[in-house]
Structure 1
Amino acid sequence: MPDEDRTLSPYTGYTRAHWEAAADSLLAAVAPYATENGALYHLPGEHTSWSGRLSDGLEGYARTLLLAAFRRDEKVLERYAEGLAAGTAGVWPRVADRSQPLVEAASIALALRLTRPLLWDRLDDGVRQRAAAWLGDALTAEPWPCNWELFPVTVGGFLAEVGHEPEASRAAIDRGLERIEEWYVGDGWYTDGPGRAFDYYNGWAMHLYPVLHAHLADDTRLLDLYGGRLSRHLADYARLFGGDGAPMRQGRSLTYRFATTAPLWLGALTGRTPLSPGETRRLASGALRHFLDRGAVDERGLLTLGWHGPDETVLQGYSGPASPYWASKAFVGLLLPTDHEVWTAREEPGPTDRADAVTPVGPPNWLLQSTTSDGLVRLHNHGSEDVRYDPYYTRLAYSTATAPSTSYDNSVIVGDDPSRTDIEPLGAGDGWVASRHTAGGGARVVNLVVARGAVEVRAHLVVGADPGTPVRVTGWPEDDGVHAELLPAHNLLDSAGVTGPGATLFVALARLTGEPDPLPLTESVSVKVEGAQGQGEYDVRVSWPSGPSTCFRFRASDGRPSASSWSVKPR
């Protein structure tokens, strides 16, 4: 890597030259793993995806081609041109309904569209015809009902541009864009398919593909629509990065790592962003450096399957040796010219650098809690779930410094069942967020978090459990450089308690901090609970030493403590 430039980039030291060097290194490292004809990249590793070795090899080609397209290195693109000719001559598996090649077809089509004068226009006509025919199967292939709907859109955008099956291409574009409308929930947020799966797919798929398509098609109407959504999303999204550059460890496909920066660059590329150029680069370069400094690339120069280094806990069944190279999306910033402000402006502080903040995020019903003293961001999750990918969706909280533990951190365990399903948002506001969910044995739990600085008050009302059922409340996991605390405040001995008749309220104080000597929790906040066991109402008053005192009322809507009727809101 080049030397740091702390004048232009006081927070990260990274400039465009660092991004170019990172791209060049990643592309050079994968080259030895290409097959002789260049059509497949068989990267080393014992973990193969459920699609098999041939599909994994195609994935290696497609995802690194996308990186080469953003880098626009003609010599490297020649290598991929040879692979395209061989792959479409019968080496690659066909694109079929809900098949992994559909995913990779989108990366190939986007790369070809981005580099058309450098790659596509220089191909022999026969190769172009074979490639268009191979990609054409994606126009009618049925996607999974999630961000996959955008893969035919991306293929259709390229094929329409080169005049291949224009009617089918336009139909694929219209169909996919229409389907994702069902999952747009406002304020720049999509769910990843039906339900309430909120995660980074908002940034590296749901926004990336429609906005890039509109930008490349020079479609002002679409760009105003999707670019406007992206800009609104980035106002929340920028708060998901810690002071050390770490993205939030929440959701699936986390092995894509610095692909989290793609929407930041996309906002700058299209002029649809609330962030200044210096803030955009500070956040994006911070994330890239975070991973490169912490072992994401091994001694061979390859991205590993994991988070920092290899880590199977963040993988899914579709993760293969080349899966991490969706991180290529991070390099969309290289489409911006060298004299663009995003590269020439001095880095400016991001949200976590500026001030402590507790910010509600409406659509996913999250509360983001950040502190400048340690650069930590904590996400209180009261609205996102996808039980297929527990524990990265279903815990009550996540952070930029900790990973979910096997001992069920940030959970309410009723009986011996740690499950949390059927999450219902109950609202978020100034310093608080609430939800309810189904827990062990069919009990319902109403949850409230009130936060200020690094301190949290966590209240959990357990309804519908048999009297005497044990309840355990867990807090943050310990990790290097941070300290986790959990103290009982009501109906708990250490972290455990038991239910009584009717509804039982449990309250704890919690904190995750990197400060070496914080004020004791008992001096940082006080909590007073009013309400008798089994009645249809509890009041929890939270008071801060210097600041407001707020009362939150847990109440059964019909006056009876039934499992379905309880809610909580500020009084």
Structure 2
Amino acid sequence: MDLPPDDRTLSPYTGYTRAHWEAAADALLAAVEPYATEEHALYDLPGDHTSWSGRLSDGLEGHARTLLLAAFRRDGTALERYAEGLAAGVSGVWPRIVDRGQPLVEAASIALALRLTRDLLWDRLDDAVRQRAAAWLADALTAEPWPCNWELFPVTVGGFLEDIGYETEASRKAIDRGLERIEQWYLGDGWYTDGDGRKFDYYNGWAMHLYPVLHAWLADDNRLLDLYGGRLSRHLADYSRLFGADGAPMHQGRSLTYRFATTAPLWLGALSGHTPLSPGETRRLASGALRYFLDRGAVDEHGLLTLGWHGPNEALLQGYSGPASPYWASKGFLGLLLPPDHEVWTATEEPGPAERADAVTPLGPPNWLLQSTRSDGLVRLHNHGSEDVRYDPFYTRLAYSTVTEPSASYDNSVIVGEDASRTGIVPLGVGEGWAASRHTVGDGVQVTSVVLAHGAAEMRAYLVTGAAPGTPVRVTGWAAGEGVRSELLPVLGLTDSLTGVMGDDGATLFAALVRLTGEPDPVPLEETVTVRSGGPGELRVRWSAGPEVRVRLDASGVEVVPVA
């Protein structure tokens, strides 16, 4: 990708300016153009097509998601091509919008793009085309979405149709219905779950916050903007901590192939005026993420975004991932809606949270503990409250980071017998420097877990109950990552191979010291913390440069108390 030279005066951390974002957007749009069908209704990108939707729907996905990029870029020439494709698409090429079908997702991108570029695209269409397009979109008003972030797709379509005066009553009902449904998933402090259960991931930012805030902003509805913008601002205080100093977002959750869509809520805060971040910090985090992926092979030799993280990586994909799916990364270009003279583009970059200081930050609603270290810029997420409806390594491991990927050999797990599953996660609280939870392994085995973090070091303890005497128990730590060092030392109940056995009383405590660090010559892990037994189910933890803490695990939960 041909980008301008770095500007290390305005952007001392990333070198990227608005010109880099514009050039990246132009390059991505140019790269997909050869794959458009003759009338531009479909973008048939190379790769395997999904069983979820099929080739026709994948082609619509290619149109819709790259149209969104053209809309953020406000590229009149490109929008003319998409106008031609829209006319052909709604004349019988595109599949209809039906209950829980992929076209409902893509209709939201199309409607949002049309709403953002009404003067450049919609208003210049023939009236007959506008009528057919509105009729095609209107099916989204009554189509039943999956009970998750999909509830916001009818909201987004309804917002556009209400603006143009098409089926205004049905549009208003769709808007109100969708916004009402997501309320049941708002848990406070800026955090939603993505539907029932405890599914916490980037959908908070690029869906659950994005669509309501944009709708309120475009509708000029100050009441809604205050509500959803306030939630966004609170969320960004936590969200901004999920980026490493190298620009990497946290490697956790599903749909990670959307890559720099992770920057959308950062820009959204600046666009809506609801953000705790300074303009320089906003651009530093966003540009850092864009550069992180572009420097690491996210775009192939044809200029196309691949299905993966750096380059292609099937481990990250879901059943709905098709060749055009990565182009939801277009959401990351939301910042181009801000004019060139906006302070988010003119301010000098400022460091992000991971670059300012060591921090261990508890996040209440997801029951997460974030641990970042300034010396190496790493961010670690200790997961004691998030899981998908099925066992998923990107949801259910005990920890994630900005520099490691969940391994097929079960990193950050407790393996009882030969079973490493972690289901039915029950949060047991987070606090200053700790997080705890309980989960099920297999049939009837319970593991109560607690992690204490200080600097880059961790003390992890597990009380295993319900397993037969003599059952082997093994704990694992961080997977290997490029340029980082993973350490795991036994403390209690474990041999040097990090394996122990269940005792005769049906409840056995295991503990280990853990560290993931990018420092080339760190202080030996055993010198950073001292752990000793304080009785049945109790540990005393003393950090070399911090407090002493008493930790107790039993059938009722976990207690963590500072020792005076």
User: By the TM > 0.5 criterion, same fold?
Assistant: yes
Query: In structure 1, what is the Cα distance between the partners aligned to 2:351 and 2:211?
Result: 28
Query: 5 Å matches for 1:361-376?
Result: 361-376=363-378
Unaligned runs of 5+ in 1: 533-537, 557-564
- Tell me the amino acid that sits aligned with residue 111 of structure 2: A
Could you state the TM-score of these two structures normalised by the residue count of structure 1?
Answer: 0.97
* Offset at residue 441 of structure 1 (A): 3.1
Count residues with an aligned counterpart: 558
Counterpart of 1:236 in structure 2 is 238
Range 463-472 or range 382-391, more displaced: 382-391
- CA contact 1:4–1:14 (8 Å) conserved in 2: yes
Task: Determine if the alignment matches structure 1 residue 72 to structure 2 residue 63.
Answer: no
Residue in structure 1 matched with residue 406 of structure 2 by the alignment: 404
For residue 463 of structure 2, the aligned residue among 461, 464, 470 is 461
Question: Could you say which residue in structure 1 is the equivalent of 2:137?
Answer: 135
Q: Counterpart of 2:522? A: 518
Give the conservation status (yes or no) of the 8 Å contact 1:485–1:511.
yes
Match of 1:560 in 2: none
Q: For residue 551 of structure 2, what is the aligned residue in structure 1? A: 552
CA distance in structure 1 between the aligned counterparts of 2:218 and 2:271, rounded to whole angstroms:
11
Query: Are 2:199 and 2:388, in contact at CA under 8 Å, matched by a contact in 1?
Result: yes
Structure 1: how far apart are the matches of 2:176 and 2:265?
22
Task: Note the C-alpha offset of 1:569.
Answer: 3.3
Counterpart amino acid of residue 255 in structure 1: T
Q: Offset of 1:47 from its aligned partner?
A: 4.8
1:324 aligns with 2:315: no
Q: Which residue in 2 is equivalent to 1:339?
A: 341
Q: 1:47 to 1:137 in 2, by over 3 A?
A: closer
The alpha-carbon deviation at position 539 of structure 1 amounts to 1.6
CA distance in 1, matches of 2:244, 2:142: 41
Q: Which aligned pairs between 1:36-435 and structure 2 lie closer than 5 A?
A: 36-388=38-390, 390-435=392-437
1:222-249 Cα deviation digits (max 9, x unpaired): 0000000000000000000000000000
Deviation at 1:373, TM superposition (A): 1.1
Q: Contact 1:490–1:507 (CA<8 Å) still a contact in 2?
A: yes
Q: Indicate the percent of aligned positions where both proteins have the same amino acid.
A: 79
Alignment-derived partner of residue 541 in structure 1? 540
Q: Distance in 2 between matches of 1:56 and 1:305?
A: 14
Report the TM-score, using the length of structure 2 for normalisation: 0.98
5+ unaligned residues in a row in structure 2: which ranges? none
Once the two structures are superposed, the pairs formed by residues 501-512 of structure 1 within 5 Å of their partners are: 501-512=505-516
C-alpha displacement of 1:553: 1.6
For 1:554, the aligned partner's letter is L
**One-letter code aligned to 2:167:** E
> Could you tell me how far 1:463 is from its partner in structure 2?
1.1
Paired position in structure 1 for 2:27: 25
Contact 1:413 1:440 in 2 (8 A): no
1:568 and 2:545 equivalent? no
Structure 1 residue 388 displacement after superposition: 3.0
1:327 Cα deviation from its structure 2 partner: 0.2
Q: Which amino acid aligns with 1:39?
A: A
Q: Is the 8 A contact 1:369 1:454 kept in 2?
A: yes
Q: Residues 245 and 289 of structure 1 are in contact (CA less than 8 Å); yes or no, is this contact kept in structure 2? A: yes
- 1:561 is aligned to none
8 A Cα contact 1:367 1:433, kept in partner: yes
Displacement, 1:166? 0.1
Distance 1:382 1:566 in 2: 13
Q: Is the 8 A contact 1:261 1:330 kept in 2?
A: yes
Matched, 1:529 2:529: no
Letter in 2 for 1:497: G
| TM-aligned CA deviation for residue 418 of structure 1 | 0.7
Shift of 1:376: 0.6
Counterpart of 1:499?
502
C-alpha displacement of 1:442: 1.4
> Matches of 1:89 and 1:97 in 2, distance apart?
21
Give distance in 1, aligned partners of 2:545 and 2:40. Answer: 65
Deviation at 1:387, TM superposition (A): 4.2
1:100-154 alpha-carbon deviations (Å, 9 max, x no partner):
0000000000000000000000000000000000000000000000000000000
Task: Give the 3-state SS of the residue equivalent to 2:139 in structure 1.
Answer: helix
Q: Is the 8 Å Cα contact of residues 446 and 465 (structure 2) preserved in structure 1?
A: yes
Question: Structure 2: which amino acid aligns with 1:516?
Answer: P
Partner Cα separation in structure 2 for residue 300 and residue 354 of structure 1: 38
